């Protein structure tokens, strides 16, 4: 009995430590399984301990009774003749008392065992319920994992499609433009001024004065410098071609948060609203066609969309042309 209690006590301690470990490492399965085992072993240890205590009490009572009769044996022998029938009666009464004692001692133990059995059954039911809950949780996790895999496949497909569209859009750029493998951080104000200086002579011949305006001397943008030069050069060149009178082209640069805003506005003859809606289409040439093949503004749009920006134009016949660009700075 003592050996069983020692073994159960060791199991109780081990499962308790494992339960604490499952809680500490946030392992739900380990925690619930070890907690169930801990509860079961603790219950069995309690039952064995109570049985052992009852057995020890019975042994102590028997030893005390034997000692009593041995110490008083002479007294019973001296009184045996006058009261010959008494020892038999007392013995029978004692035997009767022992049986009553045994019955009274066994009855509570039986009741306690029944109560403990009910507790064990309840713990088993709770463990089964916990196991079912964990199984349901595993099913939900598996469903979520499958949905994430499907979403990852869709994102990869969308990215591949976007890359193809970007490469297709950039295919219309001049052949001498080569995309750099690594982007650099450049001052876009300096690039705009450099393009204006580069086309200064052609602009003067057309009667156009180009002015770059910015509230900041430095607006740093992470990009391919050659692509940004194509963007500015094509729009300024378009104004030079279709100005048809002396005027001015103002390039305004500003930032709001992480976005760069560029406005290129001239005071030339402009276009009708219907024609303005088509100026970024490949090979489109409006009613004021002079020369060229309709690539300039289409290339400008391709550059803007490559960097995830937006571009649109606004014009009225005789009211000049305005082109508005939004680009992320990173």
Tens place of pLDDT for every residue, the chain, 330 residues?
567 777 877 887 888 888 887 777 878 788 888 888 878 878 887 887 777 665 555 545 555 555 555 565 555 455 544 444 444 444 444 444 444 444 444 455 667 788 888 888 888 888 888 888 888 888 888 888 888 887 888 787 766 655 555 555 566 666 556 566 667 899 999 999 999 999 999 898 888 899 999 999 999 998 888 889 999 999 998 888 887 678 899 999 999 999 999 999 998 888 888 888 888 887 776 665 655 566 888 889 999 998 889 999 998 887 888 999 999 987
Whose structure tokens read 């450049």?
A: 186
- List own/partner pairs for 195-202 with CB under 8 A and 24 or more apart: 195/229, 195/232, 195/233, 195/236, 196/236, 196/251, 198/233, 199/233, 199/236, 199/237, 199/240, 202/237, 202/240
Sorted by sequence, the CB contacts under 8 Å of residue 88 that are 6+ apart come out as none
| Residue 287, pLDDT score | 61
H-type alpha helices, the chain: 2-24, 28-71, 73-78, 85-170, 188-198, 200-205, 225-242, 273-276, 296-306
Geometric angle at alpha carbon 318, from 313 and 324, rounded to 5°:
15
Residues paired with residue 260 on neighbouring β-strands, in sequence order: 255, 327
Q: Which domains does the chain have, with CATH numbers?
A: 2-161 (no CATH), 184-328 (3.30.565.10)
């Amino acid at each position: 009995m003592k050996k069983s209690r020692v073994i159960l006590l060791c199991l109780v301690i081990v499962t308790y430590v494992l339960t604490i470990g499952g809680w500490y490492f946030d392992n739900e399965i380990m925690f619930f399984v070890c907690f169930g085992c801990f509860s079961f072993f603790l219950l069995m240890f309690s039952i064995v301990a109570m049985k052992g205590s009852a057995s020890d009490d019975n042994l102590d009572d028997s030893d005390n009774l034997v000692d009593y009769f041995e110490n008083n044996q002479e007294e019973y022998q001296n009184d045996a003749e006058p009261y010959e029938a008494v020892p038999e009666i007392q013995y029978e009464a004692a035997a009767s008392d022992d049986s009553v004692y045994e019955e009274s001692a066994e009855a509570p133990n039986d009741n306690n065992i029944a109560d403990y059995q009910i507790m064990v059954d309840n713990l088993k039911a709770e463990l089964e319920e916990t196991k079912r809950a964990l199984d349901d949780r595993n099913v939900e996790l598996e469903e979520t994992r499958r949905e994430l895999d499907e979403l990852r496949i869709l994102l990869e497909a969308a990215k591949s499609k976007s890359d193809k569209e970007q490469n297709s859009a950039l295919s219309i750029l001049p052949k001498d433009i080569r995309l750099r493998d690594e982007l650099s951080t450049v001052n876009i104000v300096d690039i705009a001024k450099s393009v204006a200086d580069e086309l200064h002579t052609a602009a003067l011949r057309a009667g156009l004065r180009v002015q770059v305006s910015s509230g900041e001397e430095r607006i740093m943008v992470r990009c391919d410098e050659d692509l940004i030069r194509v963007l500015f050069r094509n729009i300024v060149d378009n104004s030079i071609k279709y100005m048809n009178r002396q005027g001015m082209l103002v390039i305004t640069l500003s930032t709001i948060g992480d976005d760069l805003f560029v406005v290129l506005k001239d005071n030339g003859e402009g276009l009708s609203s219907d024609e303005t809606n088509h100026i970024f289409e490949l090979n489109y040439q409006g009613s004021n066609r002079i020369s060229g093949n309709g690539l300039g503004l289409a290339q400008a749009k391709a550059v803007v969309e490559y960097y995830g920006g937006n571009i649109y134009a606004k014009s009225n016949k005789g009211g000049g042309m305005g082109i508005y660009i939004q680009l992320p700075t990173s």
